[in-house]
Structure 1
Amino acid sequence: MSSNRAAATFVDVPRGLAGVVVTDTRIGDVRGREGFYHYRQYSAVELARTRRFEDVWHLLVHGELPDPEAGAAFAARTAALRRLPEEVRAALPAVAAASARSGPLAAMRTGLSVLGAAKGFRPVYDIDPDRRREDTLTACAAVPTLLTALHRLGKGLEPVEPREDLSYAANYLYMLTGSEPDPERARAVEQYLISTIDHGFNASTFTARVIASTGADVVACLVGAVGALSGPLHGGAPSRALDTLDAIGTPDRIAPWIRERVLAGERIMGFGHAVYRTEDPRSHMLRETARRFGGPRVEFAVEVERRVEAILAELKPGRELHTNVEFYAGVVMELCGLPREMFTPTFAAGRVVGWSANILEQAEDSKIIRPVARYVGPQAPVTVPAA
C-alpha cells in the first residue's frame, strides 16, 4: 500500500478515542458539560433517589420501568438465580487461594469463567435475543454471590448462601458480612449501585462491546470488562480517595499536603473526571447520602472537598476540577461497613448490569469492531539476516 493510499484510507482520531462516536446506543448518555447523565430517558440520579436497583435493572434489560407487579416479578425472578451451581461452589476455594495475592477482581474473573463453563453459555452470535437476555440475567444475579464467597474464602470464612427475600443490595451486604444489614445502609449501597450501573462508553463498557462484536458468549464479554475495570485509572479510585483522607489526617494539613502534590504534578485521587466539566452529579448525590449518616469522617471529607477544590482552582486556573463519584463512594462504602478491598468489586456488582445491557445491544449488530493502527516502525521489508 502506498503512503498516499494509506493517507486516504486511514482516519486519524484523538488519543484514547476522546470524543469519537463509534456507534449509536439506546441505553443512556453522559452530558459532561451539563453535569448530567441518564439511563434511557430517565435521570440516573433521580432513579437512584426514587427507585430500587431491580427496577433500574429491568429498565436497562427491557427498555421500560416496571409497574409494581412487574417489578416484584422481575425481582423474584432474578433473586432465584443467585445461587451458584454446585460445580462452581466446589471450585471457589481453589480460585480464592490462587488469587490471594492478586485481589478480588482477579478472583472474580476466574469465578465468572467457571460459571460460564458450568452453565454452558454459548456465543451470542449463535443464540436468539431471549437466550442472550437470560444469560445476562444469570450472570448478573450470580456476581454478588461470587464476589462475597471469594472474599470470605480469602479471609478463611465460609461463604454465606444468598437469600431470595432480600433486595439485591441487602443480599449483597448480607452475604458479605453474614448479618442482615439495617435498611439505611442497605439503601445507601443500593443508591450507589444504581448510580454506577452505566456511564457511557468507558473503558470497561467499550471492552465488553468489542468482545460482544466478535460474537463471543456473555461471560467472555464480562470477563474482559472486569479486566479493564481492574486498572487503577478506571475502577480503583474509591479506596485511593480514602487513602488520601487518611494521609491528610487533620484539617490543618489539607493545604500543605495538597499543594505539595499538585505542584509535583501528582493526581489527587477522587478529583477531576475525563468527561465532566462541572460537578459530577453522582458525587453530589453520594455527598447527600454520606451526610445522612453524619459524623467526623463525613465532616472531614466535606472540608477536604471544599479546600481542595479551592486550591485546584488557584493552581490550575481555567480547569473545572471537582470531586468525582469515587470520592464520596469511598466514604459511603466505609460507613456501610465494606472493607476497602471490596470497594471496586462492589462497583462491579452494579456495573455488571450496564455491561450486560451493552452486550445485548452490541449483539444486535453483526459488524465486528476492528480498527487499524498506523505502523511507525523501521521501514519494511528488510532482508532477514542469516542465523
Structure 2
Amino acid sequence: MSVNRSAATPVVPVKPVESAAAINVPRGLAGVVVTDTEIGDVRGIEGFYHYRQYSAVDLAKTRGFEDVWHLLVHGELPDAARRTAFTAETAALRRLPDEVRAALPAIAAASGRSGPLAGLRTALSLLGAAKGFRPVYDIDADERRRDAVVAAAAVPTLLTALHRLGRGLDPVEPREDLPYAANYLYMLTGSEPDPERARAIEQYLISTIDHGFNASTFTARVIASTGADVAACLVGAVGALSGPLHGGAPSRALDTLDAIGTPERIDAWIRDRVLAGDRIMGFGHPVYRTEDPRSRMLRELAESFGGPRVEFAVQVERQVEAILAELKPGRELHTNVEFYAGVVMELCGLPREMFTPTFAAARAVGWSANILEQAADSKIIRPVARYVGPGAPVAVPAA
C-alpha cells in the first residue's frame, strides 16, 4: 500500500547504527564530548577554568558564594537587589523539615564508620520525599529550579548535623544572618568564625563549585536525563564523589605530609613511592597539563596564614615536582586542588573527616546547575559497551 506524503514532510533516511565494536572509544571516556553546556569549561592545556563567561578563580577572589550560586542557577551575576533577595531566599531554606531532623540521629548512627557523606545520601533522599520533589520530567523549569535551590541550601545543614551527631553533639541550627560559608563553619563548630577564616573557606567553596564533566557531575546528569527528581540526581552524584579517586584526596594529601614528617625525609619517601608505582595523593590531574589554577589560588591563601605547616607543604610541593620531573620526564605532574585544599581547611579548623563533605557542600550547587541544564533536554543518556566476552550465540548445554 502506498502512503501519500506532502512535499513539506520529506522522507529522511535512517542512518544505520554503527557497531560498537567498530568505534574506538578511549578508556574512561577521556576527551569524549558527550553534550553541550553553558555552565563552564576546563581548559587543561592552558591551566584555566571558568563558570559561564567568568574566570572561576577571579570569581573566588572577588565575589561571595551566593553571587556565584546565582550565576550558575540563573545564568547571570546578581545586581545588589537580586543579591539581597537571593541571599535571603537561600538562607531561609537552610532549616530542615521536622521529619528529616527527627531521622538524623538514626542516620548518623547507621553511618557512623562511613561518616557524614554516606549519611548524606540517605538524608537527601528523605529531604526530597519530605519536600515533595517530583521527577524533573514532569515539572516546569521554575519548579525544577526551586527544588535545586532547596536541596543545595539544605546540604550544609545536613552534613554538619550528621557530623556533630556522630560525635555525640547536638546539631547547631543555621543562622539566616550569616553568609553561606560563615554559616557552614558556625553549624560545624558552634562558634561564629573569624572573618579571615570564613573568607578563606568561602574562596575554597567557590573554587570547587563546578569543574567540567567530572565523575560526580556526569553521574548527576545521567540520572537527570532519565527524568528523575533532583534529590535522586544529587544522591547519585554524592555516591560518585565518595570514591577515593574523586573526592577523597584532600585528607589523604595531608596524610602524605604527616607520613613524610620532616624536610630531610621528603626525597627518600617520595622516591620510594614513585619507583614502587604508588600514586602521590595531591599530585596530578586527568585534565590539567599545567599547574592546577585552584591549587595556585589555595597556595596563596595558605601562605597568607603562614606557619610551619604551610612552609613544609610548599617545600614538599617543590621537591615532589622536581623528583617527578626527574623520574617521569615528559609528564606534567603538579599539585592539584586537593593538596592545598587540605592545608587551608586544616588551618581554618575543619576536621579531616569533613574535608570531602565540605567539597560536597560546594559541589551541590554545581551539580544542581548541571541537573537543571540536563533536565531541559529530554534525551536520555544511553551509551553502549563493546562486548568482549565469549562468542555468541552458543547452544545452552543440557541440565
**Does TM, normalized by the shorter one, top 0.5?**
yes
Aligned match of 2:197: 185
| TM-score for the superposition, normalised by structure 1 | 0.98
Correspondence for 1:243: 255
Determine the structure 2 residue equivalent to 1:161. 173
Q: Which moved more, 1:41-50 or 1:12-21?
A: 12-21
Counterpart of 1:273 in 2: which secondary structure? coil
* Equivalent in the alignment of 1:256: 268
In the alignment, which residue of structure 2 is the partner of 1:69? Answer: 81
Distance in 1 separating the partners of 2:111 and 2:76? 39
What's the CA shift for 1:351? Answer: 0.3
Correspondences of 1:1-387 after superposition (within 5 Å): 7=19, 11-387=23-399
SS in 2 for 1:16: helix
Secondary structure of the 2:211 match is coil
2:90 & 2:19 partners in 1: Cα distance? 51
Q: What's the offset of the Cα at 1:346?
A: 0.2
**Is the 2:20–2:386 Cα contact (8 Å) retained in structure 1?**
no
In structure 1, give the amino acid aligned to 2:52.
R
CA distance in 2, matches of 1:278, 1:65: 29
Alignment partners' CA distance in 1, 2:71 and 2:46: 23
Query: Which residue matches 2:11?
Result: none
- Report SS of the residue matched to 1:299: helix
SS in 2 for 1:111: helix
1:246-305 deviation digits (Å, cap 9, x = unpaired)? 000000000000001001111100011100000000000000100111100001001111
Query: Letter of the aligned partner of 2:328 in structure 1?
Result: K
Q: Which sections of structure 1, spanning at least 5 residues, go unmatched?
A: none
The aligned length equals 384
Kindly tell me: are residues 5 and 141 of structure 1, through their superposed partners in 2, closer, same or farther at Cα, counting changes over 3 Å? Answer: closer
How far is 1:382 from its partner?
Answer: 2.4
Deviation at 1:67, TM superposition (A): 1.1
- Pairwise CA distance, 1:327: 0.2
Kept after mapping to 1: 8 A contact 2:20/2:384: no
Structure with larger Rg: 2
**Identical aligned pairs, as a percentage?**
85
Stretches of structure 2 that go unaligned for 5 or more consecutive residues are: 1-15
Q: Distance in 1 between matches of 2:395 and 2:328?
A: 52
User: Quick check: 2:21–2:387 contact (8 Å CA) kept in 1?
Assistant: no
